[in-house]
Amino acid sequence: MRILLVAPQPFYQERGTPIAIRMLVETLCSQGHAVDVLTYHVGMDLEIHGLRILRTPALPGVRDIPIGISWRKLLCDFLLCGKLLALALTRRYDVIHAVEESVFPAVLLRPFARARVVYDMDSMLGDQLVAKWRLLRPMARMLRAVERATIRRVDAVFAVCKDIASHVAADAPGVPVFVIEDVALPTHGAAGKAERLRESLDIHGTLALYVGNLQRYQGVEQLVGGMALLPAESPITLVLIGGAPSDIARLRAMVEKLKLERRVRVLGRRPLAHLAGLLAQADVLVSPRVQGNNTPMKIYSYMQSGTAILATRIRSHTQVLDEDCAHLVEAGPEGLARGLMQMSADPVLRARVGAAARRRALEHYSVDAFREKVQAAYRTLEPPEGQGDENVEEARQ
């Protein structure tokens, strides 16, 4: 089939959603589909057989798009809609695969494109907007109604977790929904060996590691606050990896204010190719997230590493983790502090939950499992035999 994948993100960049899109593109192309990715002007080109990247016009002065909603993202989305309109009117596609908010223009343009529409759903967008901008709270019902009406007009939904699939089933019972979870982050290329954290940071006790963005919903402030509650003689050192420069500065200021410089190290970003090596060095991998119902992509990498996981007991985590394969605690500094102390003192617990998490990841959240789920879902979208062959051959020429 010929697929237009609309990605309202900087593609390609080494961060959550673009990485997931890359894995989806590689899967679709390996299965013989021709894929056009419509995306922002920001990002690195990829060489994948069957892939063509189409970009929006460049915005002067805009060289990066931060995670989450921003004026830069809204401007890029406006340009994306214009480009999508042009493609819908001039090119033939079998499927428009719309990621996140791109589903709204995709559904509106569906009569012109004469293509099936797949909604790649990572979150409840209405809830996300209200959480970001409290001024929108009076509009929560309207936003929810718009989202519900849109879901009812698509041909299929790819839900990133079970909770989102349940919402879709309740809102649009007649729309097929496929749960296609993220998997452990791939490590494309070889950017060298990961740094030795214990040696470079002079760590002799328990190494607790967090990897990911440092936005407030991730609960990293609560994690740092939990470190402040630990006794001065505690053997635990917390290392934070990832984050935008502004978030890194905010966390470093907090660490300095709490006088935790020796016990909390804020390192900033590291190459994706180093991820597996960094995770393997830790005694405890922490996910202190405080809100959300979509499972963080990092959790699958944490699980695959075989290192023990400490996570907050919220739905984002408990869809995938339970007490058999993680140590779950209440969100907030007190719960995280207790969890860190318990895991530091109990190597048997760490070994047990780490091994169980790895077994579960290999069985349910491997790359092969992801590819099988995508293939099965796309099989339901195939046109009658022979009808889509002409489009694929045209796209490859």
User: pLDDT (tens digit, 9 = 90+) per residue, 19-39?
Assistant: 899 999 999 999 999 999 999
Q: Which residues contact 40 (CB under 8 A, 6 or more apart)?
A: 8, 9, 10, 11, 55, 56, 65, 76, 79, 80
Band of pLDDT at residue 387, cut at 50, 70 and 90: low
How far apart CA 361 and CA 378 sit, in angstroms, is 23
Higher pLDDT, 129 or 364: 364
Query: Residue 396: what pLDDT?
Result: 40
Q: Check pLDDT > 50 for residue 340.
A: yes
Burial class of residue 262 (count of CB atoms within 10 Å of its CB; 0-12, 13-18, 19+)? exposed
How far apart CA 320 and CA 343 sit, in angstroms, is 20
pLDDT tens-digit map of 220-249: 999 999 999 999 899 999 999 999 899 999
How far apart CA 155 and CA 176 sit, in angstroms, is 7
Q: Which helix (H) or strand (E) holds 237?
A: strand 236-241
pLDDT tens-digit map of 259-290: 999 999 999 999 888 999 999 999 999 999 99
Query: Average pLDDT for residues 284-301, to the nearest whole number?
Result: 92
Query: Residue 189: what pLDDT?
Result: 45
Q: Check pLDDT > 90 for residue 126.
A: no
- Whose CA is closest to 327, among 310, 340, 343? 310
Higher pLDDT, 299 or 135: 299
Residues of the chain with pLDDT > 90, as a percent, come to 72
Query: Average pLDDT for residues 282-310, to the nearest whole number?
Result: 94
Six-digit token pair at 163? 């909770």
Q: Mean pLDDT of all residues in the chain?
A: 90
Domains in the chain, start-ordered, CATH in brackets? Answer: 2-183+366-396 (3.40.50.2000), 197-364 (3.40.50.2000)
Positive/negative CA dihedral, 326, 328, 331, 334: negative
Q: Check pLDDT > 80 for residue 385.
A: no
pLDDT tens-digit map of 38-69: 999 999 999 999 999 999 999 888 888 877 77
Query: Residue 397: what pLDDT?
Result: 41
Query: Residue 386: what pLDDT?
Result: 52
Q: Check pLDDT > 70 for residue 307.
A: yes
Query: Residue 190: what pLDDT?
Result: 41
Query: Residue 143: what pLDDT?
Result: 79
282 phi and psi, to 5 degrees? -80, 155
Band of pLDDT at residue 128, cut at 50, 70 and 90: low
Band of pLDDT at residue 389, cut at 50, 70 and 90: very low
Please, what is the angle between helix 347-364 and helix 297-305, to 10°?
120
pLDDT tens-digit map of 94-123: 999 999 999 999 999 998 889 999 999 987
Query: Residue 130: what pLDDT?
Result: 57
Six-digit token pair at 132? 């970001």
Query: Residue 152: what pLDDT?
Result: 95
Q: Check pLDDT > 70 for residue 382.
A: yes
> In what order do the strands lie in the sheet containing 284-287?
264-268, 236-241, 206-211, 284-287, 308-312, 327-329
pLDDT tens-digit map of 171-213: 999 999 999 998 877 654 444 478 999 999 999 999 999 999 9
Query: Residue 354: what pLDDT?
Result: 97
Q: Check pLDDT > 80 for residue 390.
A: no
Cα–Cα distances (Å) from 387 to 89, 91, 215, 311, 377, in that order, read 20, 16, 46, 48, 19
How far apart CA 286 and CA 257 sit, in angstroms, is 22
Burial class of residue 268 (count of CB atoms within 10 Å of its CB; 0-12, 13-18, 19+)? middle
Query: Residue 67: what pLDDT?
Result: 76
Query: Residue 133: what pLDDT?
Result: 60
Band of pLDDT at residue 73, cut at 50, 70 and 90: confident
Six-digit token pair at 193? 């060996």
Residue with tokens 């020796």: 262
Query: Residue 191: what pLDDT?
Result: 43
Strand duo 2-6 + 34-39: pairing: parallel
